[in-house]
Structure 1
Amino acid sequence: MNTVLLALAVDVVAIVVLACAIYYRRHRRADLMFAYIALNTGIFAVCTLLMAQQAGLALGFGLFGVLSIIRLRSDEISQREVGYYFIALALGLVNALGADSLLVMAGLDLLLLGTMYAADHPALTGRARRRVIVLDVVHEDDTALRADLERRLRAPVRRMVVERVDYVRETMVVDVRYRASDPQGSARPGTAGRPAARPEVLR
C-alpha cells in the first residue's frame, strides 16, 4: 500500500508539471489541461488495479495499445496536443507499473517531462505559424502564389498547400505554414502550429 501511495504521489507531481507547468503555461487551454490530468489519473488507477489482480503486464500494454489507436478527430486538436495526450498516458503507465522501482520510475518521468519541455520550447517553435487562407485571386503559378502570400503575411512562407480553387468566384483556399517575423507574431497565445478552425480571408 505504501508503494502504491508513493507511486501515486510521484504520478500526481509528474502530471501537474506536464499539464500545468509546461502545457497550460505555453498554450492556455484549460480544457485540454483537464483532459490530460483525467487521462493520466484514469490510466494510473486502472493499471494499479490490474497489477493488484495480477492481470500481468500484457494486459496493461494491451490497454496502452487500444488507447494509442484512438484517433482524435477535431480541428481544435493539433498533433502537438496529441503528443501531450500520449505523454500523459505514458506517465500513468510508467508510474503504475514501475511502483516497485522508484529510481527507474522517477528517471523515466524526468525523461518524458524533459523531452516535452525541450521539444515544445518556444525557442524552437515560437515563430511557427499555420493559417488556412482564402485568397480573392487565383494563381496558376506557385512562384506567384508564394510571393502573394509573403506580401500579405509579411513573413517567409515555408510550405503551402492549395486545398480548393473556385474559378467561378476567383478564389482559392491555401493551407500556409510560415515563420512570423517576431516571436509572438499576430497569433494568440498557444495558437502556434494549431490547425485553423476555419479559413480566413486575406485581401
Structure 2
Amino acid sequence: MLETFLIRYALNLLFTFIVVRFIYYPKYRNNDFVFTFFLFNTILFVLCYLLAEADLKFGFAFGLFALFSMFRYRTVTVPIGEMGYFFLVVTLGIINSLASLVNIEMLLVANSVLVAMTFLLGRTLQLTHENFQTLNYENLGLIKPAERAGLLQDLTERTGYPIHKVQVVKVDYQRGIAQLRVYYFSKENESGPLDLDA
C-alpha cells in the first residue's frame, strides 16, 4: 500500500511540477502562487488518498472541487488565468489519488492530456481582450469632452498602449489632477501597469 501511495504521489508531483514550472511560471512569474499550487495539490492528494477507503470516493472529491470553485483569497484578487491553473493542480491531485480502479498507464495518459492541453492553449491561444486601469492625469485642459481625441492621443503616446476609451472618475482642481479610467486592448501577456511618467 505504501508503494502504491509513493508511485501515485510521484506521478502526481511530476505532472504538477511540469505544469507549474514549465507552463505557469514562465508566463506569470508569481512565486506566491507557485507555493500555493504545490501546497494545495499535495494536501488534496494526501487527503483524498487517505479517505478513499471511507466509501467517500468521487462524491467526496467533487464536493471538494465544488468548494474550491467558490474559493477566493480575501486579501488578494486572483486573476482568472491563475485560477485556471489552480483548478488544474487541484484536479491532478484528485485524479491521481482517487482513480484506484485505473492502472498507471491510463493515469499517465490522463495526466498527459491535461498537461498537453494546458500547454497548447497557453502558448497558441493569445486572444486580445480589453484591459482598464485608473491613472492620475495632470493636463486638465484635455479632459473636456471636445478634446477627447487629443486626450486619447496623448495617453497613447505617453503610456505606449493603444487606449481607445477614457472615463473621468473625478477631478481635483486644487491639485490640478484628474483621475481617469483608461481602456485598451492587449494580449494577456502584454498587460501591465501603465506609466504616465514616460
Is the radius of gyration larger for structure 1 or structure 2? 2
Distance 2:144 2:100 in 1: 60
Count of matched residue positions in the alignment of Structure 1 and Structure 2: 189
* Map of 2:109 onto structure 1: 107
Q: Tell me which residue corresponds to 1:83.
A: 84
Q: Where does 1:11-90 land on structure 2 (aligned, <5 Å)?
A: 11-75=12-76, 77-90=78-91
1:154 maps to amino acid: G
TM-score, with length taken from structure 1:
0.74
Q: Which has the higher contact order (CA 8 A, sep 6+)?
A: 1
After superposition, the Cα gap between the structure-2 partners of 1:151 and 1:91, relative to the gap in structure 1 and judged at 3 Å, is same
Query: Tell me, what secondary structure is at the counterpart of 1:58?
Result: helix
Structure 2, unpaired ranges of 5+:
none
1:116 counterpart residue number: 118
Counterparts of residues 117-196 of structure 1 (less than 5 Å) = 117-121=119-123, 124=126, 131-137=133-139, 139-141=143-145, 143-157=149-163, 160=165, 162=167, 164-166=169-171, 168=173, 169-179=176-186, 192-193=190-191, 196=193
As a proportion of its length, which structure holds more helix?
2
CA offsets 1:65-93 (integer angstroms, 9 cap, x no match): 11110123455632221221111111111
Structure 1: runs of 5 or more not aligned: 181-189
Deviation at 1:61, TM superposition (A): 0.9
Pair 1:82–1:36, CA change in 2 (3 A): same
Q: Give the Cα separation in 1 of the matches to 2:25 and 2:38.
A: 12
| Residues in 1 aligned to 2:156 and 2:125: alpha-carbon distance in whole angstroms | 23
Alpha-carbon distance, 1:24 to partner: 2.0
Query: What TM-score do the two structures reach when normalised by structure 2?
Result: 0.76
Q: Report if aligned partners of 2:158, 2:195 keep a CA contact under 8 Å in 1.
A: no
Report if the CA contact (8 A) 1:165-1:173 is conserved: yes
Contact 1:3 1:100 in 2 (8 A): no
Matched residues, percent identical?
A: 20
Change (3 A) 1:70 1:123: closer
| Secondary structure of residue in 1 paired with 2:126 | helix
Distance change (3 Å), C-alpha of 1:106 and 1:97: same
- Of stretches 1-10 and 62-71 in structure 1, the one that deviates more from structure 2 is 1-10
Give 1:103 shift. 3.6
Residues 122-181 of structure 1: per-residue CA shift (max 9 Å, x gap): 88379x986543222453546444333222223423x6563722253441232443448x
8 Å CA contact 1:91, 1:109 repeated in 2:
yes
Pairwise CA RMSD: 3.3
